[in-house]
Structure 1
Amino acid sequence: MTRLVQLAEVLKTELRFAEGREELHISGVAGAKRAGASDLVFAEDAEALEAALASAALAVIVARKIAPEENPGKTLLVTPQPKLAFAQAARLLRVQDEAAGIHPTAVIAPDVVLGRRVSIGAYAVLEAGVKVGDDSRVDAGAVLGAGVKVGQGCRIYPRVVVYPGVEMGDRVVIHAGAVLGGDGFGYVRDRETGAYTQFPQQGRLVIEDDVEIGANTTVDRGALEETRLEKGVKIDNLVHIGHNVRVGKHVVIAAQTGISGSSEIGNHAIVGGQVGIGDHATVGEQVILGSGSGVLTHKKVKGAGVVFWGRPARPLKQYLKELATLAKLSRG
């Protein structure tokens, strides 16, 4: 249980107590329909606020623009961004897994360096030169190759495979089945015989602080240089990122997207599901790529806040205009 006063202070929200309720404790977050007497809910619009006030919840995080002037009989936490504050509250109130220490079946090389309060699960493998920072957790069956560096407060879920030399910052989360630092898909064709020889894949993969990578996602190492996921990147399940790719700060990438080698995605871009990006392509800062769209090899897509759609991707207004023209032609 957490004191509501403390929670409001951390979230930087204005706290308005219900009459006679000035010492309250919150145990968790919930939706309005399932909230219990010690839960916290949120409301961004009038309809959601009505449901929240009618719920059993102890307190409501509410948007400032719709916060009631008079006391509604419930304690309110008032903020311009209630959904964000609710998500932050959920993290703060989450019950943490108890560290299990080092499982006796884990295979750990003699020179591995483990920080304080590190947990290593059953049958995990940590090869020579691995370093794991304080408060990090490596779950069952995960493999960390030689020289892998894991920062503080990281969570590596079961059956993750991290190839040698990968570097992770702090608070990185890698979900089950992800493969990090594998060889990129790079080959040189012999024009005489047609045979293919692999181009050297000896670069590295760097994952900065606060990155989260979804289940069964793969991120290749650089060929001769590096692949880099910058601070705050969030990647969904079943995404593939090729060698030498740079993904900028706080980029979001949805499921089943493929990014070919040596491409670049600018800071704060949003990439929808099933997007295909060719090699050496550039997606500018704050660009929004709609689901199923495609960026051709060597193309540059730029325009902060502009939504692009279609194959090849073009501004949404242009795409819709073209669809309307095709519809007219088909009727004619």
Structure 2
Amino acid sequence: MQFTVGQIAQVVGGTVEGNASAAVSSLAKIEEAGPGALAFLANTKYEPFLYTTQATAVIVSPELPLRQPVAAALIRVADPYSAFTKLLEFYAQATRTARRGVEQPSVLGEGSTIGAGHYRGAFSYIGENCVLGENVLVFPHAFIGDRVRIGDNTIIHAGAKIYADTIIGQRCVIKAGAVVGTDGFGFAPQPDGSYRAIPQIGNVVLEDDVSIGANATVDCATMGSTLVRQGAKIDNLVQLAHNVEVGRHTVIAAQTGISGSSKVGDYCVLAGQVGLVGHIALANRTTITAQSGVQKSVRQEGQVLQGYPAFGLKENQRATAVYRRLPELERRLTVLEKSQPAPEKL
């Protein structure tokens, strides 16, 4: 795809200094960009590259002074980083959604419908009585079970598995290898020490604008629904167990596991390798730092927790500082004990 500098300025709401008719066909880092590329400058430590870059155009802030002549056209915007991010989203969306039509072999089950502008890749499978909206993209080797509902403009990437009765909203992205709706980990212990599987008869509901990362798993509910609310972003290799609820615009990083029936509030941040025990709740805007384990509910909004078991960030940092000094404190205690006279025997 190719655009003029002037067209790009219109998209990001910027003003052009230089050749507004110059053609741009790619995006690149300012230090690596060549002719035909668009770059951006948000961090002043990269300013020297502005005067040497081969980029055709660079997005910069309105306040940036020019210390030397610049060959590239400049697009001045209030927030260069956000503007470039918007262009990356536009470019990714345009390239992902370029596919249309049906490749063979592929299966659309009896009683299933799919809206206009869709794409079904080779070896994709859609079960019976499904309803898929407009501009839905189903990439090769994706599996969609019976009675699934998928909203407009959602993308199901290659090899993703969507189990029966799952409901997916609009503009969602299910990345390669993700599994949505598999049975939850429910087993009843028996008198002889064995375990008997508990039927999982619920489903999964993903609201609008949800992203599920590659090889992430979202288990169906035992009864009712496992629920991921609007705008939540789930990273690769995350496990959401049965009957979990994830709040609006919450982000969960890789290798995090949330046990059954736990509830995570809105606008929370769970960093990598976080673990939550079952049947607890996190208040809105809770942040859990990497490799932390949460064992009880968090009731107060806006807390930042760290450690295992997780507790307040500042308190944890003070405790860690003391922990590092334990060998020295032990040595000093030993010296102090040796300097004291032996206690008298009674």
TM-score by length of 2: 0.87
- 1:4-43 matches, within 5 Å, as 4-12=5-13, 14-18=14-18, 21-43=19-41
Distance 1:283 1:80 in 2: 36
- The Cα shift of 1:26 comes to 2.5
3-state SS in 1 of match to 2:85: helix
4+ long deviations beyond 6 Å? none
Distance 2:197 2:181 in 1: 16
- The Cα shift of 1:285 comes to 2.0
Q: Aligned partner of 1:10: which letter?
A: V
- 1:177-188 matches, within 5 Å, as 177-188=177-188
- The Cα shift of 1:72 comes to 5.4
3-state SS in 2 of match to 1:48: helix
3-state SS in 1 of match to 2:180: strand
Pair 1:283-2:290 in alignment: no
Distance 1:119 1:174 in 2: 15
- The Cα shift of 1:6 comes to 3.3
Per-residue deviation, residues 88-137 of structure 1 (Å, max 9, x unmatched): 10222345254252222112212110111211111111110112221121
Asked if the contact 1:2/1:93 (under 8 Å) is kept, the reply is no
3-state SS in 1 of match to 2:9: helix
Query: Corresponding residue for 1:218?
Result: 217
- The Cα shift of 1:70 comes to 8.0
Distance 2:126 2:82 in 1: 37
Give percent identity, aligned residues only. Answer: 33
**How many aligned residue pairs are there?**
325
3-state SS in 2 of match to 1:92: helix
Residues 3 and 69 (structure 1 numbering): CA distance in 2 closer, same or farther, change over 3 Å?
Answer: same
Pair 1:127-2:124 in alignment: no
Q: RMSD of the TM alignment (CA)?
A: 2.2
Distance 2:26 2:49 in 1: 18
Q: Aligned partner of 1:68: which letter?
A: P
3-state SS in 2 of match to 1:140: coil
- The Cα shift of 1:71 comes to 8.9
Residues 33 and 283 (structure 1 numbering): CA distance in 2 closer, same or farther, change over 3 Å?
Answer: same
- The Cα shift of 1:294 comes to 0.8
- The Cα shift of 1:193 comes to 4.0
TM-score by length of 1: 0.90
Asked if the contact 1:60/1:77 (under 8 Å) is kept, the reply is yes
More displaced, 41-50 or 117-126?
A: 41-50
Pair 1:329-2:330 in alignment: no
Pair 1:3-2:4 in alignment: yes
Asked if the contact 2:143/2:161 (under 8 Å) is kept, the reply is yes
More displaced, 68-77 or 273-282?
A: 68-77
- The Cα shift of 1:80 comes to 4.2
Unpaired segments ≥5 residues, structure 2: 330-346
Distance 2:315 2:259 in 1: 25
Query: Corresponding residue for 2:249?
Result: 250
Asked if the contact 1:45/1:63 (under 8 Å) is kept, the reply is no
Pair 1:315-2:316 in alignment: no
Query: Corresponding residue for 1:295?
Result: 294
Distance 2:117 2:58 in 1: 35
Unpaired segments ≥5 residues, structure 1: none
3-state SS in 2 of match to 1:197: strand
Distance 1:137 1:159 in 2: 13
Distance 1:170 1:213 in 2: 13
Pair 1:61-2:59 in alignment: yes
Per-residue deviation, residues 145-166 of structure 1 (Å, max 9, x unmatched): 0011122222211111110011
Residues 54 and 294 (structure 1 numbering): CA distance in 2 closer, same or farther, change over 3 Å?
Answer: same
Per-residue deviation, residues 262-318 of structure 1 (Å, max 9, x unmatched): 11222221111111111122222222211101111x4226442x4321111122211
Distance 1:62 1:263 in 2: 44
Distance 2:109 2:163 in 1: 15
- The Cα shift of 1:239 comes to 0.8
Residues 72 and 211 (structure 1 numbering): CA distance in 2 closer, same or farther, change over 3 Å?
Answer: farther
Asked if the contact 2:6/2:16 (under 8 Å) is kept, the reply is no
